[in-house]
Amino acid sequence: MASRSQLASIVGSATLRRGGNAVDAAVAVGFALAVTHPSAGNLGGGGFMVIRMADGTIAANDHREKAPTGATREMYQDADGEVVRGLSTASHLAVGVPGTVDGLLSALEKYGTMSRREVVQPAINIARRGFVLSRDLAESLASVHAKFAKYPASAKQFANKDGTPYEPGDVFRQGDLGATLERIRRDGRAGFYEGKTANLIVAEMQRGGGLISAADLAEYHSVWREPIVGSYRGHEIVSMPPPSSGGVLLVQMLNMLEAYDLGAMGFGSADAIHHVIEAERRAYADRAEHMGDPDFYPVPVAMLIDKSYARQRFLDFDPERASQSSDIGAGAIPPAESPDTTHVSVIDQDGNAVAYTTTLNLSYGSKIVAQGTGFLLNNEMDDFSSKDNTPNAYGLIGREANAIQPGKRMLSSMTPTLVVKDGEILLATGSPGGSTIITTTMQVIMNVIDHGMSVSDAVGRPRFHHQWQPDRVIFEALGFSPDTLAVLQTRGHVNQVRARFGLGDANSVMRTKEGFRGMADPRNEGGAIGVNSMGTR
Ligand code: GLY
């Protein structure tokens, strides 16, 4: 198994060793990440879990956050209809009704084999006893120290008693979080959505002018949905349906590219990159227009993942010239902070597989700890379209399909994906990275299928990203040769940007002739642990 946190991966592999299946392990890791990886692991956020059992059963759990009942379409606009900067990312109004706890417990109940106690207890132990802060995590906490300082419970949770930031090597204990996890262990979903935890969340909302009510929490339920299923060069692709755009766009782009021999063009060649960019441009344009919560908007999924639609959509593709993205929407606001979601892949010895992506949205979400709970609240409301054609923190635009409505789930890009070959699981993958999640996941899959790479190469190789608007290509720094970038310039890809962060963090597990191999993305700290695993740091 592979995740962003070595300690969480130890929890997952110990769960497998004790006889748990991949779902037990993914759920145990989900709870552990809330303790060990607070920028994205969470109880106060949401996520998606795609499951394939060894007998071929597939399922997708949607535990995306929902807009509170009091939410309105214009809630982030001022009297002149202008979007008020920061309201959907850095205020109590930014918080959607959390889904993670219901989703993890629902997955455990339906496909797991272990008791709630067995999968929650490791997270409680780590929260109560503490763990030694790595340089990476201490520096990450220090980088948001000033933002936490605005909220007393956040400042208390993530700094020393005297208010100074933690140092690498300090032991980080989280007593309030341990107590919240104990309520979940004892009472299940009621330990979060009712009683003390729910009261503390509502009190936090009332203190800061947020909208989530006791009824919003009590009524929250995750949803089991039919996964998106597509095919690519003889492989089956199983991924997340709306309200994620991830699975649909992934299959749509792979459909457009299937007609071209990317393997012969070569990894990193200007030719291959040009083809992929043009598929990305068209698919992300469709995302802006067509995609939102299917419970509120008729998302044309069947059309978007149809192979003949993809062929039509690519008819205007010019192998020699970049297309122009149309001019809709405002200019891009680059994210002011790293997009921070996190992805876990698990395959057990029987071939049961889980791809699980979870998030608070931006790094550490709203930065608001609900006082007394020990966990951070998300700022997922920013994934709605606050106003038609106005970019969110990822520069993504949207319209009616993703407009705010009470009880609606905001559109996501999370793409937990399983690749199946000849009836057997081949690859579990996915990534964080906001709008770059889908293109990262696709590149890992193409690296395996088109370029014949091992999982370590497929995950480690440099990546690029285009999302239609803004009309620019983002390249990982030093990842591509100057000659390649120059050729792309001559083809019209003139707006080239160096990524400020590594693109994605695609912790993956793959079947090989020698057994399953895990790879923790070398762009960040993390751990791949288990039989035949690689990349443990
Ligand atoms: N918050 C990032 C996403 O769900 O796409």
pLDDT in tens, 480-523: 999 999 999 999 999 999 987 899 999 999 999 989 999 999 99
Angle at 350 between CA 345 and CA 351, to 5 degrees: 45
395: CA distance to ligand 1 center in Å?
12
90-104, 311-325, 367-381: least confident range:
311-325
* Nearest-angstrom CA–CA distance, 48 and 512: 26
- pLDDT, residue 29, reads 98
319: CA distance to ligand 1 center in Å?
32
The catalytic site residues sit at 341
Q: Name the residue among 320, 249, 233 with its Cα closest to residue 282.
A: 249
Q: Which of 89, 340, 361 to probe ligand 1 with, by most ligand atoms within 8 A of CB?
A: 361
**Does 383 sit in the ligand 1 pocket, CB within 6 Å?**
yes
**Does 413 sit in the ligand 1 pocket, CB within 6 Å?**
yes
* Nearest-angstrom CA–CA distance, 271 and 183: 55
Residue nearest to ligand 1 atom 4, measured at CA: 412
- 127 to 178, 237, 246: CA distances (angstroms): 5, 37, 32
**Does 361 sit in the ligand 1 pocket, CB within 6 Å?**
yes
- pLDDT bucket at 532, cuts 50 / 70 / 90: low
Q: Which structure tokens are listed for 51?
A: 């499951």
Average pLDDT of the segment spanning 452-459: 97
Contacts 24+ apart (CB under 8 A), 133-140: 133/166, 133/167, 133/168, 133/169, 133/170, 133/171, 133/172, 134/168, 134/525, 135/168, 136/524, 136/525, 137/37, 137/172, 137/525, 138/165, 138/166, 138/167, 138/168, 138/169, 138/170, 139/168, 140/39, 140/363
Domain annotation covers residue 499: yes
363 in the Ramachandran plot: left (φ > 0), alpha (ψ -120 to 50) or beta? Answer: beta
Q: Which structure tokens are listed for 425?
A: 């699981």
Domain annotation covers residue 189: no
Number of domains in the chain: 1
pLDDT mean across residues, the chain: 94
- Kindly compute the dihedral angle of the four CA atoms of residues 238, 385, 99, 504, in this order, to the nearest 10 degrees: 50
386: CA distance to ligand 1 center in Å?
15
Atom of ligand 1 at shortest range from CA of 435? 5
**Does 245 sit in the ligand 1 pocket, CB within 6 Å?**
no
**Does 243 sit in the ligand 1 pocket, CB within 6 Å?**
no
226, exposed or middle or buried, with CB in 10 Å at 0-12, 13-18, 19+?
A: exposed
Report whether pLDDT(103) > 80.
Answer: yes
Report whether pLDDT(217) > 80.
Answer: yes
- pLDDT, residue 145, reads 96
What confidence tens digit (pLDDT) does each residue in 116-161 have? 999 999 999 999 999 999 999 999 999 999 999 999 999 999 999 9
Q: How many residues does the chain have?
A: 537
Domain annotation covers residue 466: yes
491: CA distance to ligand 1 center in Å?
31
**Does 65 sit in the ligand 1 pocket, CB within 6 Å?**
no
- pLDDT bucket at 339, cuts 50 / 70 / 90: low
Residue nearest to ligand 1 atom 3, measured at CA: 412
Atom of ligand 1 at shortest range from CA of 383? 1
Atom of ligand 1 at shortest range from CA of 64? 4
Q: What is the pTM of this model?
A: 0.95
Say which CATH number the domain at 236 has. 3.60.20.40
- pLDDT, residue 500, reads 77
Q: Which of 383, 397, 438, 505 to probe ligand 1 with, by most ligand atoms within 8 A of CB?
A: 383
237 contacts 431 by C-beta, under 8 angstroms:
no
Domain annotation covers residue 59: no
Average pLDDT of the segment spanning 179-189: 98
* Nearest-angstrom CA–CA distance, 478 and 498: 9
Where is 7: in which H helix or E strand?
Answer: helix 6-17
Domain annotation covers residue 385: no
Residue nearest to ligand 1 atom 1, measured at CA: 361
Report whether pLDDT(537) > 60.
Answer: no
Q: Name the residue among 139, 185, 142, 167 with its Cα closest to residue 31.
A: 185
- pLDDT bucket at 333, cuts 50 / 70 / 90: very low
Domain annotation covers residue 502: yes
Alpha-carbon dihedral sign for residues 228, 229, 232, 235: positive
Percentage of the chain modeled with pLDDT above 70: 96
Q: Which of 359, 381, 382, 467 to probe ligand 1 with, by most ligand atoms within 8 A of CB?
A: 359
Domain annotation covers residue 468: yes
Q: The domain containing residue 263 runs over which residues?
A: 225-339+414-528
Atom of ligand 1 at shortest range from CA of 382? 1
Atom of ligand 1 at shortest range from CA of 246? 5
Average pLDDT of the segment spanning 173-193: 98
Q: Name the residue among 138, 129, 178 with its Cα closest to residue 158.
A: 138
Domain annotation covers residue 389: no
Percentage of the chain modeled with pLDDT above 90: 92
Q: Which structure tokens are listed for 275?
A: 């083809």
- pLDDT, residue 330, reads 25
Phi (first) and psi of residue 8, to 5 degrees: -65, -35
